[in-house]
Amino acid sequence: MDNIRNGRFKTGMTDEAAEYTSSLEADMLLFEADIKTNFAHTSMLKHEGIISAEIADKILCALDNLKDDGYEALVFDPSVEDVHMAIENYVTSKIGPEAGFMHTAKSRNDQVACDVRLVLRGMIEEIQIGILEFIEGLVEMAGEHLNDIFIGFTHLQHAQPITIAHHLMAHVQALKRDYQRLEDTYKRVNLNPLGSAAMATTSFPINRQLTTDLLGFDAYLENSMDGVSARDFIAESVFDFVLLSSTLAKICEELVLWSTYEFGVIEMADEYSSTSSIMPQKKNPDVAELARGKTSVATGELVTILTILKAIPYTYNRDLQEITPHLWNAVKVTRDTLSVVCKMMLSVEFNVDRCSELAGKNFATATDLADIMVREKRIPFRTAHKIVGRIVNEASEKSMVEEDITSSFIDDIASDLGFDKLNLSDDLIQRALNPAENVKIRAVPGGPAPEMVEVARNNVKEFLNVEFERKGI
Ligand code: ARG
């Protein structure tokens, strides 16, 4: 087959150089998009009378055939640099040299930018739908645990009582932002570079609005130099995948911790567990660990992409080709991890007794004991903090638990520290130290009280309805 080198050069590249510079592997994912781009461009050339209707129709017909024949119908020899040339060669093999008209007012530079945007926007939507499904599952799971008391941590030390539902809904809020971030990025992905041609547009009277409409872009890019060289839309998308990955990694980390004998708060499904080749008792959270590991991949790809992008002079430089495989890898790992982590997390069983047991231990309710001193006795919170700190200190030394804390014990400590006795009733003290009570009275927006978590769940359900509808689901 004749190829684009034949005019300018006397010889082809060495096989090694051809293979080294080829983008064919990463281009496989661009196959359908490239047909669409060619189709839209040729239709526009026909509509504007830039090429004859008869030739345009032959090209469009060949492109249609290729869609049916599939990727395997393309012929790749070392002279074929990329999928764009392979597709043009296919059309040439079907209709002859008139295929050459399809490249009028078009360059592979604007074509590849257009293709990547088309493919990426679909991938973003797919990941967004995955996030919505995960959110939906978590909201449902939270509904089953609205009143199940759990312990919250700071520094991975017992902090304050919450509910299992409140914890699950924290992940929901993070996932919702991951979704919205992609929604925002999508606006900058879904822009049309076609018509930028090599870098300075063309002297043919092309209709960029028409290709924009045909390809479902929101608008066309208004500077042809920017059109062929901008890849910030890729860096931004991968950054969003990195943040989504970090949400998923946090979930995996919790699954690993929570499934330990020491925490004992969840039972992982067998489907997501492995055993040991030597220790027959083992139930290991391998899937969660691998997912935790794989969530680093997108970060690596982001750094690679940013490093390639840095200081590339305007306009198109072949370095840009090198970005695409890293984008695909980031998408693949993120998509696969999202799917597995979603199913794994939703198949977890909570040990509700153990969760509530932990919440009642280790003075996780101490903040409320200080709060009632402020509320009932009007002492400054800092004073209450000091008294309660000392209560916990002495109680721990004497191996006392929450139930052993009495009004007189508290007053002895208050006196020791030089404060007035507080005279709190034992009943009030025990209520303050009760984890379920702690949760119940945290009924402010964003709090763990079941009615507040229910408000948050309803708001998220509303969000899901709107977004599923927008995505046509
Ligand atoms: N394979 C190239 C890429 O992915 C397509 C554009 C090639 N353009 C060029 N002038 N060599 O970026």
Asked whether the whole model's pTM tops 0.85, one would answer yes
Task: Give distance in angstroms: CA of 317 to centre of ligand 1.
Answer: 8
Cβ(207)–Cβ(48) under 8 Å? yes
| Pocket, ligand 1, Cβ cutoff 6 A | 23, 82, 108-109, 112, 316, 318, 320-321, 324
Distance CA 248, CA 341 (A): 7
Task: Give distance in angstroms: CA of 80 to centre of ligand 1.
Answer: 12
- Tell me the chain's radius of gyration from C-alpha atoms: 31
Instruction: Please indicate whether residue 276 is annotated as part of the active site.
Output: yes
pLDDT at 126 over 90: yes
Residue from 47, 52, 79, 155 carrying the catalytic annotation: 155
Distance CA 412, CA 391 (A): 10
Q: How confident is the model at residue 79 (pLDDT cuts 50, 70, 90)?
A: confident
Tokens of 285: 């959270």
pLDDT at 1 over 70: no
pLDDT at 469 over 70: yes
- Exposed / middle / buried, residue 170 (Cβ in 10 Å: 0-12, 13-18, 19+): middle
Task: Give distance in angstroms: CA of 54 to centre of ligand 1.
Answer: 29
Task: Give distance in angstroms: CA of 65 to centre of ligand 1.
Answer: 25
pLDDT of residue 185: 98
Mean pLDDT, residues 372-401 taken together: 96
Q: Write out pLDDT tens, residues 270-314.
A: 999 999 899 899 899 999 999 999 999 999 999 999 999 999 999
What percent of the chain shows pLDDT beyond 90?
94
Instruction: Report which ligand 1 atom has the smallest distance to the Cα of 198.
Output: 10
**Measuring from atom 11 of ligand 1, which residue has the nearest CA?**
318
Tokens of 378: 């009007």
Task: Give distance in angstroms: CA of 110 to centre of ligand 1.
Answer: 9
Task: Give distance in angstroms: CA of 82 to centre of ligand 1.
Answer: 7
Q: Write out pLDDT tens, residues 240-250.
A: 999 999 999 99
Amino acid at site 117: R
pLDDT at 417 over 80: yes
Residue from 52, 276, 396, 425 carrying the catalytic annotation: 276
Amino acid at site 453: V
Cβ(83)–Cβ(30) under 8 Å? yes
Which conformational region is residue 216 in: left (phi greater than 0), alpha (psi within -120 to 50 degrees), or beta? left
pLDDT of residue 2: 59
Peptide bond into 315 cis (omega under 30): yes
Return the best residue to mutate from 83, 316, 321, 322 for the ligand 1 pocket (most ligand atoms within 8 A of CB): 321
pLDDT at 4 over 90: no
**Measuring from atom 10 of ligand 1, which residue has the nearest CA?**
109
375 sits in which H/E element = helix 366-377
Mean pLDDT, residues 406-430 taken together: 97
Instruction: Report which ligand 1 atom has the smallest distance to the Cα of 82.
Output: 1
pLDDT of residue 295: 95
pLDDT of residue 3: 77
Instruction: Report which ligand 1 atom has the smallest distance to the Cα of 316.
Output: 10
Which conformational region is residue 304 in: left (phi greater than 0), alpha (psi within -120 to 50 degrees), or beta? alpha
**Measuring from atom 2 of ligand 1, which residue has the nearest CA?**
321
Q: Write out pLDDT tens, residues 96-115.
A: 999 999 999 999 999 999 99
Q: Write out pLDDT tens, residues 432-460.
A: 999 999 999 999 999 999 999 999 999 99
Mean pLDDT, residues 409-433 taken together: 97
Q: Write out pLDDT tens, residues 324-374.
A: 999 999 999 999 999 999 999 999 999 999 999 999 999 999 999 999 999
Paired strand residues for 192: 220
- Mean pLDDT over each residue of the chain, to the nearest integer: 96
Instruction: Report which ligand 1 atom has the smallest distance to the Cα of 81.
Output: 1
Distance CA 116, CA 325 (A): 11
Task: Give distance in angstroms: CA of 111 to centre of ligand 1.
Answer: 9
CB atoms within 10 A of CB 60: 17
Instruction: Please indicate whether residue 167 is annotated as part of the active site.
Output: no
Quickly list DSSP for 149-193.
EEEEEETTEEEEEEEHHHHHHHHHHHHHHHHHHHHHHHHHHSEE-
pLDDT of residue 320: 98
Q: 332: which residues sit within 8 A by CB, 6+ positions away?
A: none
Task: Supply the DSSP symbol for 102.
Answer: G
Task: Supply the DSSP symbol for 443.
Answer: -
Return the best residue to mutate from 5, 29, 82, 319 for the ligand 1 pocket (most ligand atoms within 8 A of CB): 82
Instruction: Report which ligand 1 atom has the smallest distance to the Cα of 112.
Output: 5
**Measuring from atom 3 of ligand 1, which residue has the nearest CA?**
321
Amino acid at site 431: R
Length of the chain: 473
